[in-house]
Structure 1
């Protein structure tokens, strides 16, 4: 258990992480304390077990960052960050989902990594710091792409009335940053109506699972 001041001007709430490995591999986040929101956040897990949680300050309150399994399979693994808050109407909801790490070595021709760190920036904002690198693999002589790097930072904002918002990529932004922004737009559209059960969110349709796919040109 941990505590977080999820309510604006409210007392800290206790966060209970309930693991249900049988029959489903789920983690349920529940809350107790003065003014605690009703309901729970349901997070599916690939392998079962606990979900790492962090507390971040955002606009006079705190939000939770839960680490969740994303894409997975032979040669690919992903962690994504689920941002959970209580809005100004007292509703518990997922306010954003961001990539934290993708490692892609599905072929021997090249391999890629895309890492993102979400941190506190200022009142009403979080900072996403991201880096991407695709490099030649063990049989890179067959690869038709070329090595590619990108690094960027961007602000994520929340006014307490809905979901996160982000600035548009600047002119000349790299292809991976553009893909990240496009995937975020699709993810946030799925979260526009309050969502707490992530089993119902079809993330595979948003592009967030494919952010490390860029091969270089």
Structure 2
């Protein structure tokens, strides 16, 4: 069966979707009526600003998906269909600062119990440029199937070679990785975090380990990411894709 256009959603193209209208109605669970979607900034939040997404209509859950959006770039990108329901794809800022900018892809939806929750968080993109200290870039993609999501990443890192006295600084050849990970999901709990394969490179291992720590935070239903910000920092989400692991969220 050929997947629908909504079922195949490259992350590299997601910002383009933000220029159009977000989905107005979604199917939260199999066999349920469609509900409306309301997404936008939280008017009560001052610093940092916050972005909220909620479902509206008869029988809609009371849960509100909420996250920081320091620059006001939080946005609802679209939906994908998995396990007989529509999942919401939301972008917001992660790490930011001098020479570094990261965006997350927050995947949210209703589980089998009818709870609107965050199911997983992936890095939508991250770029850090620090002159002669190096450069790092991470971009990803996601393809939805009825039984889960396949996430694909590309990493490109350029680091300086050891400095030799009397010689100009030199950069090493780019270290590149590309990999994909399938995240099966049937409607129960959060998205899983499969272990790294034996052939995984260092960036893939870092991504897989970060996903596992984030999944542990989301094991019990979570809709407010601001409330678990310290845990997300400890999980390494703010560092994923940055030049050096010591990068801290701004």
TM-score over 0.5 (shorter chain): yes
SS in 2 for 1:165: coil
Partner Cα separation in structure 1 for residue 174 and residue 213 of structure 2: 28
Contact 2:135 2:243 in 1 (8 A): no
How far the C-alpha of 1:136 sits from its partner, in A, is 5.9
Instruction: Please give the residue correspondences for 1:56-71 in structure 2 after superposition, counting only pairs within 5 Å.
Output: 56-71=80-95
Match of 1:90 among 79, 102, 114: 114
Partner Cα separation in structure 1 for residue 173 and residue 128 of structure 2: 15
How far the C-alpha of 1:166 sits from its partner, in A, is 3.5
How far the C-alpha of 1:161 sits from its partner, in A, is 1.4
How far the C-alpha of 1:53 sits from its partner, in A, is 2.4
Provide the residue aligned with 1:130 in structure 2: 153
Partner Cα separation in structure 1 for residue 233 and residue 40 of structure 2: 26
How far the C-alpha of 1:74 sits from its partner, in A, is 0.2
How far the C-alpha of 1:20 sits from its partner, in A, is 2.6
Deviations 1:26-75 (A, max 9, x none): 12212112431112111210112551321011011110010010001000
Partner Cα separation in structure 2 for residue 179 and residue 214 of structure 1: 13
Contact 1:19 1:28 in 2 (8 A): yes
Provide the residue aligned with 2:202 in structure 1: 175
How far the C-alpha of 1:208 sits from its partner, in A, is 1.8
Partner Cα separation in structure 1 for residue 64 and residue 225 of structure 2: 11
Partner Cα separation in structure 2 for residue 50 and residue 180 of structure 1: 22
Instruction: Note if 1:20 corresponds to 2:42.
Output: yes
Contact 1:109 1:142 in 2 (8 A): no
Instruction: Note if 1:212 corresponds to 2:235.
Output: no
Contact 1:19 1:49 in 2 (8 A): no
Instruction: Note if 1:51 corresponds to 2:75.
Output: yes
Deviations 1:60-119 (A, max 9, x none): 111001001000100000011111111111111111011110101134332110001122
User: How many pairs were matched up?
Assistant: 212
TM-score by length of 1: 0.89
Q: What is the root-mean-square deviation in Å for CA atoms of aligned residues?
A: 2.1
Provide the residue aligned with 2:180 in structure 1: 153
Worse-matched range after superposition: 11-20 or 95-104? 11-20
Structure showing the higher strand proportion among its residues: 1
How far the C-alpha of 1:143 sits from its partner, in A, is 5.2
Instruction: Please give the residue correspondences for 1:89-128 in structure 2 after superposition, counting only pairs within 5 Å.
Output: 89-120=113-144, 122-128=145-151
Q: In the superposition, relative to structure 1, how do residues 128 and 20 fare at CA in structure 2: closer, same or farther (>3 Å)?
A: same
Contact 1:7 1:86 in 2 (8 A): yes
In structure 1, stretches of 5+ residues that fail to align are none
TM-score by length of 2: 0.78
Deviations 1:156-215 (A, max 9, x none): 122211010133221121000000000001111111111111111232111122222467
